[in-house]
Structures are given as structure tokens and as C-alpha cells.
Amino acid sequence: MQEPRLSPASLRGSVLVFVLLLTTLFFLLGVAMVSQSQGAMKTTQATARAAEARALAWAGLADARGKLARILYYPPPGGDAQDVFAYTEEVRAVDSTTVVGSYNVIVDVCTAKDPYYLLRIRSEGVLGERTRPAARSIVQAEIDARTFELLRLQYRGAP
């Protein structure tokens, strides 16, 4: 009894189907890898933007603490009912033409007198334009109004 043999034409057809299935599998794997790498790249970029916004917030806090240490009447005296002093400063790149972002600082002096002697500073770092920020980050601090010693520091992340 003779075994049935495949003709060369049907053998080529089987190989063609196998190659097409293998090509489709590799294509789908490639698409999945590209999709995954794009997601990872977006996550990495978002993390980098958040870190830059956090650095801007820390810069605002350092600026306010520096002004408290150097300037005798800081924050400037306002009316009797003014308990909050706020300002915004832009941060420029090294070339001093491009604006990287800004920080918004709020100094709350409502508890700066007897019996508390406590200053509250809130600094918000804004990366990019203020109207359409790429990222935001907030740092809050409580400072002894007599010694300017840092009592409490809190990183609040994005608003």
C-alpha cells in the first residue's frame, strides 16, 4: 500500500498559509510593543513634568523663606484686615528669554502674632503657561514667626 503524497502545488500552498500566519503574528506583536512603548513614554514625560513643577514649587518656598530672613518688614504691612500676602514670579531658562514656568506664593500671617507665632506659606509651581499649564505642584510650610525655623513641611502634589 502506498502512502498518499502531497503534490508540490499543495505543499507550496501550505507553506504560504503558514508564512502568512507567522507574518500576521509578528505584525501583531510589533503593534503591541509600539503601543506599550508609547504608553511608557507618555508616563515618563508626565513624571518629568511633575518633577519640574515640584522644583518650581520648592523654588517659590525657598524664595519666600529667603525674603523672610532678609527683609525686615516682610510680608509688607497691609491693612488691619489683611492676613494674606500673595505674589507670582516667572522663572526663566538660562538664556533668560524663555519662560519655563512660575510659582505662586501665598504667605498667611493670620496666626503670626501672640499666642501662635506661626506663618503659613503655600507655594504652587506651574510648569509652562499659567493659562494652560503642563503640570502643577503644591508645597506648604509652617514657620515659627519669631525664629523663622521650619516647623512643618508638606508636599501636596498636583492640585
Average pLDDT for the chain: 88
The span from the CA of 94 to the CA of 56, in Å, is: 15
Q: What is the dihedral of CA 92, 94, 96, 98, to 10 degrees?
A: -60
Q: Please state the φ and ψ torsions of residue 145, each to the nearest 5 degrees.
A: -70, -15
pTM, two decimal places: 0.75
Which pLDDT score is estimated for 1?
A: 57
Look at residues 88, 84, 82 and name the one whose alpha carbon lies nearest to residue 121. 84
Task: Give pLDDT tens digits for 105-144.
Answer: 999 988 888 888 899 999 999 999 988 999 999 999 999 9
101: buried, middle or exposed (CB in 10 Å: 19+, 13-18, 0-12)? Answer: buried
109 Cβ contact list (under 8 Å, min separation 6): 75, 83, 84, 85, 119, 145
Domain boundaries, the chain: 31-157
Average pLDDT over residues 1-15: 70
Task: Give pLDDT tens digits for 10-25.
Answer: 777 788 888 899 999 9
Is pLDDT above 80 for 78? no
Which pLDDT score is estimated for 2?
A: 64
